[in-house]
């Protein structure tokens, strides 16, 4: 599945508040990766944005089993990495446009080679002004999974954790200022 498309410009929509209410009323917190739940809850408290979907990013062995730890192994075996991301719908308002501009800068603060701020056409089709912050090696940025080395998996895990921690702090500071 293609996940990455260049950021699309904001468009006018009449249904942001209705869509936000619907999504938040039907949010299945049980379907959110637990480490991301506090971040999603903070984002959804901001009135000009709502979360659509997210994934912490998972590393799978050849047999499809989730790898619980990325501590060094004796052998550098390839693993299937499933994209870490958070997809957001942002209101076309001054607050929303400021948020989008600040989110666009996150890759430069974390790692431009492995973090992208983008649009995803399949979200945009349902929710215009939707964007995603994703953690994926640049060469695989248009895919939702990739076969990577175990060494790279350990590096991606560090970048992913730093990115989500930065985003969590960033959103908490926005909440405190409003």
What CATH number should be reported for the domain whose range is 16-177?
3.30.1960
Q: What is the pLDDT of residue 72?
A: 61
Distance (Å, whole) CA 81 – CA 79? 6
| Closest residue by Cα to residue 124 from 48, 39, 11, 36 | 11
| Closest residue by Cα to residue 146 from 103, 114, 105, 123 | 114
Residue 50, pLDDT > 90, answer: yes
64: helix, coil or strand?
A: coil
- Average pLDDT over the chain, rounded to an integer: 90
Max intra-chain CA distance, the chain = 56
Q: What is the pLDDT of residue 150?
A: 86
Across 17-161, where does the E strand assignment appear? 49-55, 58-60, 79-82, 84-90, 115-118, 130-135, 145-148
pTM for this predicted structure: 0.91
Tell me how far the alpha carbon of residue 146 is from its chain's centroid: 16
Q: What is the pLDDT of residue 175?
A: 60
Q: What is the per-residue pLDDT across 119-141, written as a single tens digit (0 to 9) for each?
A: 988 899 999 999 999 999 999 99
DSSP 92: S
Distance (Å, whole) CA 72 – CA 52? 34
Q: Would you kindly state where each structural domain of the chain is located, as residue ranges?
A: 16-177
DSSP 102: H
Q: What is the pLDDT of residue 121?
A: 85
**Complete DSSP assignment for 16-35:** HHHHHHHHHHT--GGGS-GG
Which residue shows structure tokens 């917190």? 29
Q: What is the per-residue pLDDT across 144-161, written as a single tens digit (0 to 9) for each?
A: 999 999 889 989 999 999
Q: Could you tell me where the DSSP H helices lie in 105-147?
A: 106-110, 121-124
């Amino acid at each position: 599945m293609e996940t990455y498309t260049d950021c699309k410009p904001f468009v006018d929509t009449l249904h942001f508040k209705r869509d936000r209410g619907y999504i938040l009323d039907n949010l299945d917190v049980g379907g959110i990766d637990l480490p991301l739940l506090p971040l999603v809850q903070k984002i959804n408290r901001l009135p000009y944005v709502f979360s659509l979907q997210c994934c912490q990013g998972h590393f799978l062995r050849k047999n499809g089993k989730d790898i619980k730890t990325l501590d060094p192994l004796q052998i550098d075996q390839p693993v299937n990495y499933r994209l870490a991301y958070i997809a957001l719908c942002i209101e076309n308002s001054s607050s929303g446009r400021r948020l989008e501009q600040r989110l666009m800068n996150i890759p430069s603060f974390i790692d431009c080679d492995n973090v992208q701020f983008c649009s995803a056409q399949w979200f945009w089709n349902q929710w215009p002004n939707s964007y995603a912050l994703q953690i994926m090696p640049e060469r695989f940025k248009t895919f939702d999974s990739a076969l990577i080395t175990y060494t790279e998996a350990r590096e991606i895990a560090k970048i992913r954790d730093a990115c989500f921690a930065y985003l969590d702090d960033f959103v908490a500071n926005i909440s405190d200022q409003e």
